[in-house]
Structure 1
Amino acid sequence: METVSDEVLFSNFTYNPDCYYFLYVGDLKNYSLNHFVKETLERRLNKNNVRFIAIVPDVCIQYNYQNVMVINPVATEDMIKNHTFSGMKSPPRTSCRLKSSTFMNAVSTSPAVRQLIDTILENQNRLYVNLYESVVEMTLDDIDRVSVLGPDKDIAKQYNNKVFQHQVLKDIVPLIEGFSCKGRKELLEHTASLWDVWPDGVFVSAAYSAGGANSSITRSQEEVEERFVDQDSEYLVTRYIPHSLDPTVLAVVANENEVYIAGIADQVIVDGNRFIGSTFPSVTTPEQQSQLRDYTTAVGQVLGKAGYRGIFGCDYLVDLEGNIHFLEINARKQGTTLEFCFTLEQSLPEGAPMLPELEYYAVTENRFPPHALEMTANLHNIHWGTYNYKITSPKITKGYIPQNPYERETFKKIAKKELIKDFVILEHLGTNFLVAPGTFLARVVSVARNREDVAEGLCQGVGFIQFTIDEAPIEQ
């Protein structure tokens, strides 16, 4: 079947009833994770004809990826309105980042997606849906014989709540001093007396925040009043701690006793709390890494006891004295997931399960396979860094960098010493787009055999991206 529908902006697949399919629902930047899921299902189900259809919100000029379906209700509405700008011969298309809840709801209610699922289930007894993040707005698994390869969405929502995390982990990990507030009025009342007590600043976060959104380091009462206006939100208020490192640990939990540590990377944070990428290996000391693994294992055991099954991450900070402080759980896949898969693939013995296979076992069997192995050393001296080029003000794209789907091959060549260093630019939107703030324009991944070459590749990649954008003209 070919999918043609008003809510589908683009599709490039033709359904083959002789193949076994699963769906991926999430951002295009995680498309390549599905190759590992495909290989997992081929092994576990003893099939050699597994394919996946990726349902994504990313609006691009073209797609160098197979079997893509694009659904973005905000972009669809904008195309109908058809922006025009002075001095431009043709109106640009709009690219914007959707809230995961908006996207998942649009996918779940899409007639085209529902028709596709019905067609697939006519030819196979079960359909798996692979998710980057389990959210309650995803309801496709309410359909008979449709299962999600990921954590339970209600448990994930509970443990993504920053206030709840602070309550449930108080005796598990080293938390930063703080408290919760119900509503803006209580937030303003409680923060008014903190400025002399916490002179380095006050960190305020809404119960749900990610990537720097809905959270901020504040250094005056005026900043709190200006930045947090939701009257009914629940807030977590903690002391801001000056620090030198922001390590993040990626893990998988299968049950309350089995927690797999994939690796430790260092987050790159700008403007105090805005995440733009990660680097590996971490520069934390061996002693600090041992503590980070222990803390993350303890958090995983709490998640496992609650019924959470699958990939998660924990973020920390290391203060100027070298002490570790827990920041948050990300009850979902993190930005390091794909690069850690590529690293593990080169570092572990052939046949060792990768993260999506560990998640598959955790979700379907509440256990890990007996041949699961953690990475104990960076055997091939792989270094990598990522940079998410996220737009902070409206831009117009004036150039195009072809989408590169071969990141996995780059890691292999570095590991085999066929390359000393390389970088790839991924998921560039294309030319003649009005890009809304908060949107990922492109992503750079630099892989090398030392940190200096990684930094050089990131710098060059970012430079290339910057040549493709201009400030958006004033709308008429």
Structure 2
Amino acid sequence: MIIQTLISPETTMEMDCDDVLFSNFSYNPEAYYFLYVGDLKNYSLNCFVKECLERRLNKREVRFIAIVPDVCIQYNYTNIIVINPVATQDMIENHAISHMDTQPRMSCRLKSSIFMKAVSESKTVRNLIETILANQNQLYVNLYESMVEMTLDSIDRVSVLGPDKQIARKYNDKVFQYNLLKGRVPCIDGLCCEGREHLLQTTSTLWEKWPDGIFVSAAYSAGGANSAVTYCQEDVVRKFKDDDNCYYLVTRYIPHDLDPTVLAVVANENDVYIAGIADQVIQDGNRFVGSTFPSVANTEQQRQLREHTVTIGRILGEAGYRGIFGCDYLIDRKGDIHFLEINARKQGTTLEFCFTLEQTLPEGSPMLPELEYYAVTENRFPAHTVEMNDNHHGIHWGTHNYKITAAQLTKGYIPQNPYERETFKKIARKELIKDFVILEHLGTNFLVSPGTFLARVVSVARCAEDVAEGLCQGVGFIQQTIHEA
């Protein structure tokens, strides 16, 4: 196996590493630690959390340990713990005999619920927490998404630095959202169904009424999973096979060309901070692959998008939700706005908006993780909070998540680039006209399972055309590193 023993030059830590695939961290009892649990692609968000805590702790050194499921050839990041039960089992069964084994290793994306449960049950993680709490009075766990399967906060003096997980689960339910918000924001015509039989009965009666198509989503869906645009009854039958325990939202499909998304933070029932508006890149009607900024929505449309998101944020705030969230919309070909869904979590634009805000807002303004920290711990925003009112430095960016849809073998490697933040700074200062970075490439000689992120491209420039060029070049480089399994 490729497990590396946890390193501790300053203090001795006895760790059972059977549940860890890889680690490279060292522990210093003089530093203040927090944990991050989530995908590697959001690692850099923790730098903003670190800076926030250092300000709050009077400049005591803050470090974080990132617990991730991503299986890569190498990690150009410090203080990593990799927990992935499926990949670990593959290592035990297929790669334990010889270090010279040339059989491809497995890289797969775990369901978030499985990953969170594995981390929560990890003896290594719990021993680590015990060691940390011997040297500090509290330990924060920073999450990309608050999930009920994360139970580390049941340990005394451990708390989640994010929204309440029970509230987040409730408000991530698409059926619940629809019933809550229709009449309060512009929702699309729709119906709720209990079970597959009810779903099939309902959709069979709607094709004449909704000839452009029917959008079907399970109560819990994200990134294109468990949802689909359907154009005939056979599509529904083929794409949705879950048993009668599943709830579905069925809505009229509206042809459109623009899918704006609004990122925000809620501190209480009154205070909602709008970080910005980007445009989602959607393939096959519902599969999210990236975003672009600034949005091409016009001034009036952006005003309405902000207004609707503030309305939703206040509803979340009244329910006790505190922290970052996002709202997705579509703008039809007449220019009308339609609400799609709440993402009661951080979303794909969070990191790039942090980099944009850092270059745009007055120096010292709190970034999104700091706003979330204050929202969670004090139910307020800090006094010097400022929203972005214009793109003063002309920053344009786009992202592309290269997600595998069929099993692939990797035959090349693009070294992980940890300098996305510096790229935004150079574009804002006009030290560069355009640039793109390829991030979190898994590496060579992997059998990559469908649904796994192979790599991510971020293109930053001073105009949309150069952003598109960078994304195209980055995707081209990634495609050269794979072939069919």
Name the TM tier (shorter chain): over 0.9
| Residue equivalent to 1:173 | 185
Distance in 2 separating the partners of 1:128 and 1:254: 18
- Of residues 319, 338, 345, the one that matches 2:351 is 338
Is 1:237 the equivalent of 2:250? yes
Distance 1:164 1:45 in 2: 40
Q: Which amino acid aligns with 1:344?
A: L
- Partner deviation per Cα, 1:439-473 (whole Å, 9 max, x = no partner): 0000000000000000000000000000100100x
Question: Aligned match of 2:259 in 240, 246, 252?
Answer: 246
Q: Does 1:17 align with 2:33?
A: no
Q: Which amino acid aligns with 1:207?
A: A
Pairwise CA distance, 1:48: 3.0
Once the two structures are superposed, residues 388-447 of structure 1 have per-residue CA deviations (whole angstroms, 9 ceiling, x without a partner) of: 000000000000000001100000000000000000000000000000000000000000
Out of 48, 52, 72, the residue aligned to residue 40 of structure 1 is 52
In 1, Cα distance between the equivalents of 2:21 and 2:91? 10
Q: Per-residue CA shift, 1:73-98, capped at 9, x if unaligned?
A: 111112223289xxx97211100001
Given the alignment of the two structures, is residue 27 of structure 1 paired with residue 39 of structure 2, yes or no? yes
Tell me, in whole angstroms, the C-alpha distance in 1 between the residues paired with 2:407 and 2:21.
22
Pairing 1:297–2:310 present: yes
Report if the CA contact (8 A) 2:411-2:483 is conserved: yes
The aligned amino acid for 2:285 is: G
Structure 2 distance, partners of 1:195, 1:67, is 54
1:312 partnered with 2:325: yes
Report the Cα distance in structure 1 between the residues aligned to 2:26 and 2:136, rounded to whole angstroms.
Answer: 17
Residue 171 (structure 1) shift: 2.2
Contact 1:422 1:447 in 2 (8 A): yes
Instruction: State whether residues 262 and 375 of structure 1, in contact with CA within 8 Å, keep that contact through their aligned partners in structure 2.
Output: yes
CA–CA separation in structure 2 for the residues paired with 1:309 and 1:406:
30
Q: Partner of 1:214: helix, strand, or coil? A: strand
Counterpart for residue 407 of structure 1: 420
User: Which residue does the alignment assign to 1:272?
Assistant: 285
User: Which letter maps to 2:211?
Assistant: P
- What is the distance in 2 between the residues matched to 1:14 and 1:255? 38
Q: Is the 2:40–2:68 contact (alpha carbons within 8 Å) kept by the matching residues of 1?
A: yes
Partner SS, residue 175 of structure 1: coil
Instruction: Kindly provide the CA deviation profile for residues 297-321 of structure 1, in whole angstroms up to 9, marking residues without a partner as x.
Output: 0000000000000000000000000
Query: Which amino acid is the alignment partner of residue 45 of structure 2?
Result: L
Deviations 1:15-52 (A, max 9, x none): 11011000000000000000000000001121331000
Distance 1:180 1:294 in 2: 26
In structure 2, the partner of 1:154 is 166
How far apart are the structure 1 equivalents of 2:16 and 2:454?
A: 27
Q: Distance in 2 between matches of 1:44 and 1:50?
A: 10
CA deviations 1:123-153 (Å, max 9, x no partner) are 0000001000000000000000001100000
| Distance of 2:18 and 2:207 partners within structure 1 | 53
Partner residue of 2:457? 444
Residue 227 of structure 2: aligned partner: 215
User: Partner of 2:5 in structure 1?
Assistant: none
C-alpha contact (below 8 Å) 1:402/1:428 kept by paired residues: yes
The reply to whether residue 144 of structure 1 matches residue 169 of structure 2 is no
Q: Are positions 1:92 and 2:104 aligned together?
A: yes
User: Residue 220 of structure 2 aligns to a residue in which SS?
Assistant: coil
CA distance in 2, matches of 1:199, 1:358: 44
Name the SS for the 1:313 alignment partner.
strand
Distance 2:171 2:474 in 1: 35
CA contact (8 A) 1:83 1:92 kept: no
Deviation at 1:206, TM superposition (A): 0.2
CA separation in 1, counterparts of 2:39 and 2:407? 20
Answer yes or no: is the 8 Å Cα contact 2:95–2:101 preserved in 1: no
> Equivalent residue for 1:191?
203
Moved over 6 A (4+): none
> Displacement of 1:169 after TM fit?
0.6
Residue 114 of structure 1: CA displacement? 0.1
Asked whether the equivalents of residues 397 and 459 of structure 2 are also in contact (C-alpha less than 8 Å), the reply is yes
Determine helix, strand or coil for the equivalent of 2:257: strand
Q: How many residues align?
A: 469
Partner of 1:225: 237
> In the aligned structure 2, how far is the partner of 1:398 from the partner of 1:89?
16
Is residue 107 of structure 1 aligned with residue 119 of structure 2?
yes
Distance change >3 Å, CA 89–CA 74, structure 1 → 2: closer
Query: What code does the residue aligned with 2:479 have?
Result: Q
| Alpha-carbon separation, structure 1, partners of 2:49 and 2:20 | 25
Letter matched to residue 327 of structure 1: L
Q: Which residue of 2 aligns with 1:388?
A: 401
Mapping of 1:362-377 within 5 angstroms?
362-377=375-390
Question: Which residue of 2 is the match for residue 455 of structure 1?
Answer: 468
Cα distance in 2 between the residues matched to 1:118 and 1:471: 45
Cα distance change on mapping 1:83 and 1:316 into 2, 3 Å: farther
* RMSD, aligned CA: 1.2
Task: Determine the structure 2 residue equivalent to 1:55.
Answer: 67
Mapped to 2, the partners of 1:305 and 1:330 lie a distance apart of: 17
Structure 2 partner of 1:68: 80
1:234-253 CA distance string (max 9 Å, x none): 00000000011000000000
Q: Provide Cα deviations, 1:267-315, integer angstroms capped at 9, x if missing partner.
A: 0001111000000000000000000000000000000000000000000
Residues 1:257 and 2:270 are matched in the alignment = yes
Paired with 1:271 and 1:83, the residues of 2 have a C-alpha distance of 37
